[in-house]
Structure 1
Amino acid sequence: MKIHPLITTSAALADLCTRLSKADFICVDTEFMRENTYWPELCLIQVADTEEAAAIDPLAKDIDLTPLLDLLVDNEDVLKVFHAGGQDVEIIYNLTGRTPHPIFDTQIAMMAISQSEQIGYSNLVEAWLGIMVDKGARFTDWSRRPLTERQIEYAIGDVTHLARIFPKILARLKKTGRGVWLDIEMEKLADPAGYRNDPSLSWQRIKAAGRNPAMLGRLKAIAQWRELEAQDKNIPRGRIARDETLADIASHPPKRQDDLAKVRGLSPGWKDNEIGKRLMAAIEGSSPLTDAELPPRTPRGAPLGKEGALVADLLKLLLKIRSREIDVAARLLARSEDLELLAAGVRELALLEGWRYEVFGRDALELVEGKLAFAVVKGRLKMAHIDEIGGQPAPPAEEAAAE
């Protein structure tokens, strides 16, 4: 594979993108800094196909990234391959308002062919190529120029190794027939809605007890205020105020600006400075959430009760057994909260649809309905139908939960 020198000119980048536009797939990675800023600062972009690889310096003077961004978001003929690519996709979305498509994430793919929940890149490389990745440059300052040869070599390695690994993962997926399992997961990763930053919705990320409309209205107002303050100053939102501080203010709103000095998490200066004044204006301008704005209640069936909780535990055990049997990450099949909902009587769940139903959901439902039981076969815990072991079906979990 040809490794290019660091690309710092628009002409060299345009030539590279012209060639890469003819590839079946390209591997993409980024290096960025965001510890001290609201918006991540893009410092390096690495790309590779099976023939060549390069690192691109987005901080180079007058460089035009348009050919690369067009390749990533407009060219539907080239598959874009990432590993744990959520933050990389976010950066591309921030630059273009769009996301790369079509897209493939090797971390997600590994969940379909192994029990790895969130395999790291270095472990992925070691598992597939037997190469130990040098992590020494991982936490360096990518914004500082000039970049060292070691930094560039480390960064390009992220895509050159991936270009060798991706075809192997793809072949395994084709052999197991599990590629279709990932279609929905990859579309979720590429969904622009997941990267839109609407300040008016930022309150939904903050944990707050209860569904009181007035309290949540204040939380919405001050969370939006914080988001806009952080964006304007380009500093992390936590530098303005922490989530728990906002939740406390929403629950126990100060009556006057002087009272801000008593709020845990705020400095005494807020009692008479401009940012404190703007916070008070946000509080005073808030209004209770409407019924339509209130978060939906968590769907529930009958209360679990002691017996129902045991059924949920059995479902979690079944999930472990099944993920081991078919060598797939348990989280790809079902979430713990969905198993609890199933035990409580809820039936509108992802695990009861499509391929998840075929490989896990059907057995989970039969366990809840008393048609399956656990058995030990040759020292291994397995599932067996009740009629196969001569037992009588148990009452469904809904009935057990109600007892």
Structure 2
Amino acid sequence: MKIHPLITTTDALADLCERLAKADFITVDTEFMRENTYWPELCLVQIADDKEAAAIDPMAPGIDLKPLLDLMCENEDVLKVFHAGGQDVEIIYNLTGKTPHPIFDTQIAMMAVSQSEQIGYSNLVESWLGLSIDKGARFTDWSRRPLTERQIEYAIGDVTHLSKIFPKLLKRLIKTGRGEWLDIEMEKLADPENYRTDMETAWQKIRAPSRNPAVLGRLKSLAAWREREAMDKNIPRGRIMRDETLADIASHPPRDQHDLAKVRGLSTGWKDNDIGRRLMQTLADSKPLTEAEMPPKTPRGAPLGKEGALVADLLKLLLKIRSREIDIAARLLARTDDLELLAAGQRKNLPILEGWRFEQFGRDALELVEGKLAFAVVNGKLKMAHIDDIGGSSAEPEIVVHVDE
């Protein structure tokens, strides 16, 4: 594979992207810094197909990334391959308002061919190529220039290895017939809504201090205010105010700005500075949540109760058994929330009752909660069996644990 020198000009980037546009797939990775900024700072882009690879310096003076971004977001003929690509996709979305498409994530794909929940890149390379990755450059400050040859070599390795792994992984997916299982997961990864900052819903990521509409209304206003402040200053939102402090102010709003000096987590300067004044104005302008805006009384669905919790535990056991039997990550088959909803009696809008998940797991999960399926230990291994097959019967639906001697 041909490795190009670091690309620092628009012309060289355009030439590279013109060649890569003819490939069936490209592998992509980014290096960025976000510890001190609201927006991640893109420092390096690595890209490869099966013939060539290069690192692109987005910080080079005068370079225009348009050829690269067009390849990522406008060219539908080239598959973009990432590993654990959520943050990489976020960066591209921040630059363009679009996401790479079509897209493939090898971390997600590994969940369909193994029981690995979130396999790291180093383990992926070791398992597929038998190579150990030099981790010495992991903690590089990628924003510093100039980059050393060792740093660039390390960074490019992320995409050259991936370009060799992807075809092998694709063959296994085709052989197992599980490629179609991933279509929905990949579309979720490429959904722009995952990366769009929504001021109106920022409060939902903060642990609600109460269910009082006035308190939640203040929390909603404060969360949106914090996002604006952090964006304007390009600093992490936690540098403006921590979640706990935000929730505390929503629950116990200060009477006047001077009282901000008494709030744990804020400096005394807040009692008379501009940001403190903006906070107080935000509180004054906040309104209680309407009934339609109020969150549900339980995180998802109906409360389980003691019996429902036991049923949920059995469903989790079934999930472990099935994921082991078909060699798939349990997390790809079902989420804990969905198992609890099924145990609580919900039957609509559950992913496990649709498509391939129903065929592989959902049907048995339904039969388990309806008392038609039981656990059995056969030759020392825990398996599932139909009640009729093991001689069980019941006037009312029940879950049976059967031990075969």
TM-score range, shorter chain: over 0.9
* Consecutive unaligned residues in structure 2, runs of 5 or more: 400-405
2:383 is aligned with 1:382:
yes
Contact 2:73 2:99 in 1 (8 A): yes
Deviations 1:16-57 (A, max 9, x none): 000000000000000000000111100000000000000000
Q: Which amino acid aligns with 1:16?
A: L
Q: 1:396 and 1:93 mapped to 2: Cα distance?
A: 50
Cα distance, 1:254 vs structure 2: 1.0
Q: 1:276 and 1:253 mapped to 2: Cα distance?
A: 13
Q: 1:212 and 1:171 mapped to 2: Cα distance?
A: 54
In structure 1, the partner of 2:393 is 392
Contact 1:344 1:397 in 2 (8 A): no
Deviations 1:192-247 (A, max 9, x none): 01111122321121111433221111011111111111111111000000111111
In structure 1, the partner of 2:402 is none
Change (3 A) 1:215 1:50: same
Q: Which amino acid aligns with 1:362?
A: R
Q: Secondary structure at the match of 1:42?
A: strand
Q: Which amino acid aligns with 1:77?
A: D
Cα distance, 1:2 vs structure 2: 0.4
Paired-residue identity, %: 79
Contact 1:225 1:282 in 2 (8 A): yes
Q: Which amino acid aligns with 1:106?
A: T
Contact 1:311 1:397 in 2 (8 A): no
In structure 1, the partner of 2:320 is 320
In structure 1, the partner of 2:173 is 173
Q: Which moved more, 1:203-212 or 1:172-181?
A: 203-212
Change (3 A) 1:198 1:307: closer
Deviations 1:103-151 (A, max 9, x none): 0000000111100111100010001000001111011100000001111
Contact 1:343 1:397 in 2 (8 A): no
2:39 is aligned with 1:5:
no
Change (3 A) 1:393 1:178: farther
Q: How does 1:243-254 map to 2 (within 5 A)?
A: 243-254=243-254
2:353 is aligned with 1:352:
yes
Q: Which amino acid aligns with 1:354?
A: G
Contact 1:13 1:67 in 2 (8 A): yes
Change (3 A) 1:220 1:391: same
Change (3 A) 1:352 1:46: same
Cα distance, 1:264 vs structure 2: 1.3
Contact 1:308 1:397 in 2 (8 A): no
Q: How does 1:292-303 map to 2 (within 5 A)?
A: 292-297=292-297, 298-301=299-302, 303=303
Q: Which amino acid aligns with 1:23?
A: A
Q: 1:31 and 1:393 mapped to 2: Cα distance?
A: 60
Deviations 1:78-118 (A, max 9, x none): 00000000000000000001000000000000111100111
Cα distance, 1:306 vs structure 2: 2.3
Contact 2:300 2:337 in 1 (8 A): no
In structure 2, the partner of 1:285 is 285
Q: Secondary structure at the match of 1:142?
A: coil
Q: Secondary structure at the match of 2:44?
A: strand
Q: 2:105 and 2:316 mapped to 1: Cα distance?
A: 27
Cα distance, 1:397 vs structure 2: 6.8
Q: 2:300 and 2:105 mapped to 1: Cα distance?
A: 31
Q: 2:376 and 2:141 mapped to 1: Cα distance?
A: 55
2:47 is aligned with 1:47:
yes
Q: What value does the CA root-mean-square deviation take over the aligned residues?
A: 1.3
- How many pairs align? 397
Q: Secondary structure at the match of 1:232?
A: helix
Q: How does 1:162-201 map to 2 (within 5 A)?
A: 162-201=162-201
Q: 1:173 and 1:55 mapped to 2: Cα distance?
A: 29
Q: Secondary structure at the match of 2:72?
A: helix
Q: Which amino acid aligns with 1:187?
A: E
In structure 2, the partner of 1:362 is 363
Q: Secondary structure at the match of 1:374?
A: strand
Q: 2:65 and 2:77 mapped to 1: Cα distance?
A: 20
Change (3 A) 1:181 1:29: same
Deviations 1:344-398 (A, max 9, x none): 1111211111110100000011000000111011110000000111011473479
Change (3 A) 1:307 1:2: same
Q: 2:398 and 2:36 mapped to 1: Cα distance?
A: 51
Cα distance, 1:300 vs structure 2: 2.8
Q: Secondary structure at the match of 1:38?
A: coil
Q: Which moved more, 1:336-345 or 1:179-188?
A: 336-345
Change (3 A) 1:209 1:341: farther
Q: 1:24 and 1:194 mapped to 2: Cα distance?
A: 26
Contact 1:112 1:332 in 2 (8 A): yes
- Give TM-score, length-normalised by structure 2: 0.96
Contact 1:107 1:118 in 2 (8 A): yes
Q: Secondary structure at the match of 1:145?
A: coil
Q: Which amino acid aligns with 2:370?
A: E
Q: Secondary structure at the match of 2:220?
A: helix
Q: Which amino acid aligns with 1:90?
A: E
